Amino acid sequence: MESELSYHAARALLEWHIELGATEAIGDLPVNRYEIPAAALAPKPAPVEAQSTAAPPIPQPMPEVDPVDVARAAAADAPDLRALEAAMADYPHCDLKMGARNLVFFDGNPAARVMIIGEAPGRDEDMQGKPFVGRAGQLLDRMLAAIGMARHADDPARAVYITNVLPWRPPQNRDPTPEEIAMLLPFVQRHVELVDPELVVLMGNTSCQAGLGRRGITRLRGTWTQAYGRPALPMFHPAGLLRNPHNKRHAWADLLELQARLEGEA
């Protein structure tokens, strides 16, 4: 009787499980889910001595480099113009050099009394590696000839030395950024020191920004000031004169002022 009841009870229990959806048997023996596994009760082995338990060193960020400080150190180490040009060519922090064909360093007579500082090379300057050789450069040559001066004159009293604030052409001839001007300014300062001119001509807004820390060539032009420790005369850039021919009369007045200053200091 007892075995019969056990049979019927087991069958009823099985049918109840089937109704609940338990249609597969996954083991022959019941599992006690509350039983602690034997592996968890086994004693843990003593830790093996590792060859090195020290955590790997955390990589330290590289110190930030100030492009202006790098330029200042490189420029100061240049003893002459050739070394300065090489230092500028090796300067790694100005991205303009990546898109330029040539470094545009200078043209003219290094012994000249007058140093002209322009803004940045254009397409023709980038191709030839010399400043002021395009349409603006041709106009500059005519302007200088009008007062008896020339960039390649042998006589220092009649010659000029020409360079730019930036030695590399900006893309699409855009204006140089303040950051680009600042990082290359130490090279310009050293350039002036090595040439040692009597007078400096600042042509255009970028040149005034670098030499005077100010812009506004229409207000600044024609008035003598100080830049790089020397008398300096801001003037319209020849490229600006090509765009605005009505300013040529102001440029002529500035050329006469430059001529008078040179003759007065002769």
Please tell me the distance from the alpha carbon of residue 248 to that of residue 261, in angstroms, as a whole number: 20
Please tell me the distance from the alpha carbon of residue 189 to that of residue 195, in angstroms, as a whole number: 10
pLDDT digits (tens, 9 = 90+) for 85-121: 999 999 999 999 999 999 999 999 999 999 999 999 9
Q: Provide the sign of the torsion angle of the four alpha carbons 188, 193, 195, 199, taken in this order.
A: positive
- Does 13 reside within a domain? no
- Does 80 reside within a domain? yes
- Does 136 reside within a domain? yes
Model confidence at 134: pLDDT above 60: yes
Q: Provide the sign of the torsion angle of the four alpha carbons 48, 52, 54, 56, taken in this order.
A: negative
Range of the domain at 229: 67-264
Cβ neighbors of 262 (< 8 A, separation 6 or more) are: 113, 114, 157, 198, 199
Please tell me the distance from the alpha carbon of residue 252 to that of residue 144, in angstroms, as a whole number: 10
- Does 9 reside within a domain? no
The token pair at 206 is 């970028």
pLDDT digits (tens, 9 = 90+) for 161-212: 999 999 999 999 999 999 999 999 999 999 999 999 999 999 999 999 999 9
- Does 221 reside within a domain? yes
- Does 42 reside within a domain? no
Give the bridge partners for 216, in sequence order: none
Reported confidence tier of residue 57, pLDDT bands at 50, 70, 90: confident
- How does the average pLDDT of the chain come out, rounded? 89
- Does 47 reside within a domain? no
Which of the pair, 61 or 152, is modelled with greater confidence? 152
CATH number, domain of 96, equals 3.40.470.10
Work out how many domains the chain is built from and give that number: 1
- Does 40 reside within a domain? no
Model confidence at 130: pLDDT above 50: yes
pLDDT digits (tens, 9 = 90+) for 207-265: 999 999 999 999 999 999 999 999 999 999 999 999 999 999 999 999 999 999 999 87
